[in-house]
């Protein structure tokens, strides 16, 4: 079977494949991707951890800040260019890393972290971005 280009193949054991196949058949799922997403939905809904993660922010290949957020916090990245909001993204705290590429010498980022009650935890702006931004869990 040929898969569309947005599919990625990962290696799993035969036993894991058997267990996923069983769930797929029993629940009439259309494909394995649906099964994996359902398992992830359950994990993320019912097993939300309470621990705190540490993230470092790297701008232009320089480490900028180490900060802590809890699992339920909302992290928003705003990417501004010439005083206009060019890009905005909410990222889940459990992501291990996120990169914004930038070749625009006039761009700067506003990086905002808010907790689940939308209280401001951290805000940084007016940092020129020439070489991309990494938000990396450490």
Partner 1 sequence: MAKQKTLNIRRNTYERLQAHKQLGDGFNSVLVRLLDRWEGFYDLSE
**Interaction between residue 48 and partner 1 (CB under 8 A):** no
Report in angstroms how near the CB of residue 37 gets to partner 1 at its nearest.
6
82 Rama class: left (phi>0) / alpha (psi -120 to 50) / beta = left
Angle (nearest 5°) at CA 131 between 128 and 135 = 85
Q: Which CB atom, from 38 or from 74, has the smaller least distance to partner 1?
A: 38
User: How is residue 129 annotated by DSSP?
Assistant: -
Binds partner 1 by CB under 8 A, chosen from 68, 88, 94, 99? 94
Handedness of CA 36, 38, 44, 46 (dihedral sign): negative
Residues numbered 97-126 forming contacts with partner 1, rule: CB under 8 A: none
Closer to partner 1 at the Cβ: 87 or 95?
Answer: 95
- Residue 80: name the closest of 58, 102, 61, 98 by CA: 102
Q: Residues in the site for partner 1, rule: CB under 8 A?
A: 3, 6-14, 16-17, 19-20, 22-23, 26-27, 32-33, 36-40, 42-43, 46-47, 92, 94-96
């Amino acid at each position: 079977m040929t898969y569309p280009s947005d599919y990625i193949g990962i290696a799993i054991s035969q036993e894991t494949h058997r267990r996923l196949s069983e769930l797929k058949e029993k629940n009439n799922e259309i494909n394995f991707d649906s099964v994996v997403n359902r398992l992830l939905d359950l994990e993320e809904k019912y097993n939300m951890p309470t621990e705190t993660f540490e993230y470092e922010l790297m701008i232009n290949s320089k480490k900028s800040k180490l900060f802590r957020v809890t699992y339920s916090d909302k992290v928003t990245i705003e990417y501004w260019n010439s005083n206009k909001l060019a890009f905005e993204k909410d990222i889940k705290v459990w992501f291990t890393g996120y990169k914004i590429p930038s070749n625009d010498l006039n761009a700067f980022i506003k990086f905002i972290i808010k907790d689940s009650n939308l209280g401001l935890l951290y805000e940084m702006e007016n940092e020129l971005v020439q070489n991309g931004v990494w938000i990396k869990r450490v």
